[in-house]
Structure 1
């Protein structure tokens, strides 16, 4: 284990020298942004269980907040009505506590990765409002209650706004419970852990229509006396879209609501996207096509430079608004971990993060460290 850790340190030491730090002053993301916001990553089961030692060393070295990529989604933690699978989530929370990290819970209510039984009665027919509300309350009480005082903040509601018009997304939650489904989820979460921060999380929030939909939703919750601590802007961005100005407009608009902002799922897709939409709807999938998997043997230097500038510009923006931004979370640790290797097409070779497949910092890492200055 010691040898593996030293190898990682030597990689970041190279970045330190390139930035003008002394050989002993290894820059880490959590250190350079210590006075500004938390910097973290989404973790998978192999990492939290200790089966990926190199990733674990890198996580401990670089990050001070963690999110569970899939471990706490409903289908993973509560697959059957009377069955909970807490072992992976317990490992995740224990890892965060042992390393004194800001531990995030993701997610309590989502239209994806929620088992069918939640919305059906014993005969397989649509469940009643009362039945679904009882299941939602029991789930939140059990899951949030288990980690009360251990998980600092929860993505209570995920992706509830329609991509196009900014209306409430047509989901089973809306169909069966009605328009107060969001309020109920936040109420149950607050009751289960009154001290936990509670968040709304969504993608493409730079789009004016979607931004306005979220503003309307949050205002409706605030009118009921429900506190939303922060809005999570999923940063699933491309090399050029959205523009920095578009992202900034949403930061400013959300801050006017009296809430803070988190960038919750940051990655930069460098590959051609078969979808004309810039988003993160996991239902949008496509069949394999070589023209969308163009860097199988490595990322060309010209694209690496684009990626570096993109991260530099984004972190300069985050640093500018550090008064309202609490957390930046990368959606994965190294390029090998990224969901973009399998979305929207399976089996691609993607390069969206700050560390490469050999656990080495990319030029983008150096640019992010520099942006803190």
Structure 2
């Protein structure tokens, strides 16, 4: 996705007792089957004692994760419990991006990212590192718009090399998957004219050679981390998905150490459901792992009558709610049905800290938990899919 925001919200009054780590890791042979149509009602916290997404995912070996807002993690108890108990992987929303880790040239700030990694280790979770190279959220000393810079092309390449090596080295042995390069292509399939692309062209190189460099540098810094290219709208067959597919084949032909492709999975009910499984499978057929990395499903929501100009997190119609649920089930099912799809990550915990309302006016309700951190019907839908699918073990 193009823009991500960190949201500050006050601690919410949720008194649910969420299962302990030991309970969350219980054998799937001992879980209670969720009932079809069984959804938590407002104020009903019994859901918290039922088998978690994390527990149910053990049936297939799929890792189910969430993106974590570090302004909330550790400070909001209910939010933190959900992250710790419902998911077996975590992704930082912001705190591993270049803008946050090196706000002043030559001075690193790893504190928030280190805290997430430590929390994951304590809760027996894996970490997806996000993201090493992206045209957005760059430090202002490097580029203010993602396309221009005061540095020379060779300096850009040297700074990129230093950034990738320094960050991957700092987290060496602690990151399961890295999103090495994020969103290098436009929707029409042309390469994005980012500051990196322009610098490499100015050096007389192929503009996209920065991608291959970043993968090689990351692999040298941590040979055991899985290295992914990550992008949005790969879910639909079309110009962008086809261009990335061809580009990945070129990387493989050049012996670039790419392990997988991440499909962000930002869907909207006003558009049809993509041919997601086919696209996951065609990339997997290249010998790659695939993952759904930033899943949310937005829809039009009801206005808030008490606050004109604002919106609730309630879908505008029951039909839109039903479409949302269908999209959630289909995304998870598509991943489960492709053995090389090794992880499924939701982009955030609750509607109250989603990026969607700040970018798409009148849309929202995109996540599994509502504004008050109560589970929504789609949460139970994912539990049901995990329980009922006889999926192959992950590749």
TM range (shorter): 0.7 to 0.9
CA distance in 2 between counterparts of 1:172 and 1:99 reads 38
Question: What residue in structure 2 maps to residue 308 of structure 1?
Answer: 325
- In structure 2, the partner of 1:329 is 345
Greater displacement, 111-120 / 204-213: 111-120
Contact 2:34/2:383 (8 A) holds in 1: no
Q: 1:192 aligns with which of 199, 217, 221?
A: 221
Q: How does 1:24-173 map to 2 (within 5 A)?
A: 26-34=50-58, 35-48=60-73, 50-118=74-142, 126-164=150-188, 166-173=189-196
The 8 Å contact of residues 277 and 337 in structure 2, kept in 1 or not, is answered as no
Other-structure match for 1:253 = 282
Q: 1:183 aligns with which of 199, 212, 234?
A: 212
Deviation per CA, 1:65-102: give whole Å up to 9, x if none: 00010111111111121221111111111111111111
Partner residue in 2 for 1:362 = 376
Specify every segment of 5 or more residues in structure 1 that has no aligned partner in the other structure, as ranges: 273-288
Aligned 1:230-309 pairs, distance under 5 A: 230-239=260-269, 241-244=271-274, 246-271=275-300, 295-296=311-312, 298-299=314-315, 300-309=317-326
Specify the alignment match of 2:6 in structure 1.
none
Q: Distance in 2 between matches of 1:88 and 1:40?
A: 19
In structure 2, C-alpha distance between the alignment counterparts of 1:126 and 1:223, rounded to whole Å: 34
Q: Among residues 216, 221, 232, which one is paired with 2:246 in the alignment?
A: 216
Contact map agreement 1:334 1:357 (CA 8 A) in 2: yes
Question: How many residue pairs align between the two structures?
Answer: 342
Higher mean C-alpha deviation, range 235-244 or range 21-30: 21-30
Query: What value does the CA root-mean-square deviation take over the aligned residues?
Result: 3.0
In structure 2, the CA distance between the partners of 1:126 and 1:20, relative to structure 1 (3 Å rule), is closer
Deviations 1:241-296 (A, max 9, x none): 3424x222211221121111110000001128xxxxxxxxxxxxxxxx95xx6x53
Cα contact 2:232–2:266 (8 A) shared by 1: yes
Q: Is the 1:16–1:25 Cα contact (8 Å) retained in structure 2?
A: no
Q: Which has the higher contact order (CA 8 A, sep 6+)?
A: 2
DSSP-derived class of the 1:114 partner: coil
Provide closer, same or farther for how the CA distance between residues 371 and 116 of structure 1 changes in structure 2, counting only shifts above 3 A: same
How far apart, CA to CA, are the structure 2 residues paired with 1:5 and 1:30?
A: 21
**Bigger CA drift: 217-226 or 151-160?**
217-226
Distance 1:330 1:47 in 2: 16
Corresponding residue number in structure 2 for 1:275:
none
Q: How far apart in 2 are the matches of 1:25 and 1:336?
A: 23
1:6 corresponds to: 16
- How many Å separate the matches in 1 of 2:186 and 2:363? 30
Higher alpha-carbon deviation: 350-359 or 295-304 = 295-304
Aligned-residue offset at 1:307 = 1.7
State the 1:8 CA deviation: 4.9
Structure 1 residue matching 2:219: 3-state secondary structure: helix
Q: TM-score, normalised by structure 2?
A: 0.79
Q: Point out where structure 2 has 5 or more consecutive residues left out of the alignment.
A: 1-10, 25-30, 40-45, 202-206, 302-307, 389-395
Native 8 Å contact 1:270 1:303 kept in 2: yes
Distance 1:301 1:240 in 2: 14
- Determine which structure has the larger helix proportion and give its number: 1
Q: Is the 8 A contact 2:70 2:95 kept in 1?
A: yes
Contact map agreement 1:296 1:349 (CA 8 A) in 2: no
CA distance in 1, matches of 2:107, 2:47: 51
